[in-house]
Amino acid sequence: MGLDLQSLNEVACGMVAPGKGILAADESTPTIGKRFDLIDTKSTEKSRNAYRDLLFSSKGIEKYISGVIMYDETLRQSSFDGETPYPEYLSEMGIIPGIKVDMGAKPLAGFPGETVTEGLDGLRQRLEEYRSLGARFTKWRAVINIGEDIPSFTSVSTNAHALARYAALCQEADLVPIVEPEILMDGDHNIEDSFEVTELVLSSVFAELYAQSVELEEMVLKPNMVLSGYGSADQADVNTVAEMTLDCLKRTVPAAVPGIAFLSGGQSNELATAHLNGMNTLAGNRKPWNLTFSYGRALQQPALKAWGGNDENISAGQNAFMKRAKLNGLASTGAYSEDME
């Protein structure tokens, strides 16, 4: 069933294929160390390899997962079933291998409380290597905060410019870029504030993508959903989130983009699924792009807890992972319902 995707547009369309979504398994070593601490498991290269192998070897994963975003370490590791490198292992199942290429969000000089994502230096050479190792797509995450007097114009424009430079370099290297401008939902802002900032950021990102000649047909957008701030006393319901997110996307995202794969951004597993389903139910066949998921914690959290770092629990971990993968796959076509939980 191996991959036979010749063009970047075919890869991008394959990443957002109906009924499937992208597994974000690109946690950095420090981040996955914190996740392992919660299950009282020591984070080592071997234990991280074992956990990623649990996810990637889940039976039937290819039915609901179109692609996997990996961390540098994971891309270079091999499966436990015969030392097959992960890019090859996934490709043989028809799953597209990808790689996170940014170096993380760092403080933006002169603008307290705001960040800019680093990693452009030397990126062209790193992309060449990742392509040779089997990656077919990449990911770069920009982080925008909502707060008093922020985001600033500088924060938005600097991150949008960096995202576009990254995307252009990826396409030059024959890789599909996932463009991820994430507006964090931490804080007590309401959903109207979230809408306003998301509209501003997406508009700025696509203006920069156009200015830097990025082919929109050869990319995937990974945005936040338009939500109430997690600290807000007024939490918008699923229908309101679906309506406002769709309205924001219609205003800002060109129809040429093949698909939108949402980040979960700290939502509960169930809410991330319900919100995705709400958008697909509301939009039906009238949307110009496929709407799917690119979740990390919202796919992995139940699996990590069920596994607990114990080899005897691998099957339980895989079952928990596949349940969430299936439910989100259904949500990406509007076929999910709460009673499936």
Per DSSP, the residues of 234-295 read S---HHHHHHHHHHHHHHHS-TTS-EEEE--TT--HHHHHHHHHHHHHHHTT--SSEEEEEE
| Whether 65 contacts 108, CB under 8 Å | no
pLDDT at position 1 is 58
Structural domains in the chain (count): 1
Which CATH number characterizes residue 263's domain? Answer: 3.20.20.70
Q: Which is the catalytic residue, given 180, 182, 208, 218?
A: 180
State mean pLDDT over 110-118: 97
Helix (H, G, I), strand (E, B) or coil at 121: coil
Domain extent, residue 280, equals 8-340
Q: At what angle do helices 269-283 and 314-331 cross, to 10 degrees?
A: 30
Q: What band does 5 get if pLDDT is binned at 50, 70 and 90?
A: confident
Domain assignment of residue 246, yes or no:
yes
Domain assignment of residue 238, yes or no:
yes
H or E stretch including 326? helix 314-331
Using CA atoms, how far apart are residues 304 and 34, in angstroms rounded to an integer?
12
State mean pLDDT over 41-67: 96
pLDDT at position 80 is 81
Token pair, residue 181, equals 């401008």
Given a cut of 70, is residue 315 above it in pLDDT?
yes
Q: At what angle do helices 297-307 and 269-283 cross, to 10 degrees?
A: 150
Catalytic status, residue 92: no
Domain assignment of residue 174, yes or no:
yes
Catalytic status, residue 180: yes
Q: Which is the catalytic residue, given 20, 100, 139, 222?
A: 222
State mean pLDDT over 112-128: 97
pTM score of the predicted model? 0.96
State mean pLDDT over 277-291: 93
pLDDT at position 284 is 84
Provide the strand spans (E) within 101-228.
105-107, 115-117, 137-144, 176-183, 220-221
b/e burial code for range 191-213 (CB count within 10 A of at least 16 → b): bebbbebbbbbbbbbbebbeeee
Domain assignment of residue 126, yes or no:
yes
| Whether 59 contacts 318, CB under 8 Å | yes
State mean pLDDT over 40-55: 96
| Whether 239 contacts 279, CB under 8 Å | no
Domain assignment of residue 131, yes or no:
yes
Domain assignment of residue 229, yes or no:
yes
Summary mean pLDDT of the chain: 96
Domain assignment of residue 1, yes or no:
no
Given a cut of 80, is residue 303 above it in pLDDT?
yes
More confident residue, 83 or 309: 309
Domain assignment of residue 2, yes or no:
no
Q: What band does 137 get if pLDDT is binned at 50, 70 and 90?
A: very high
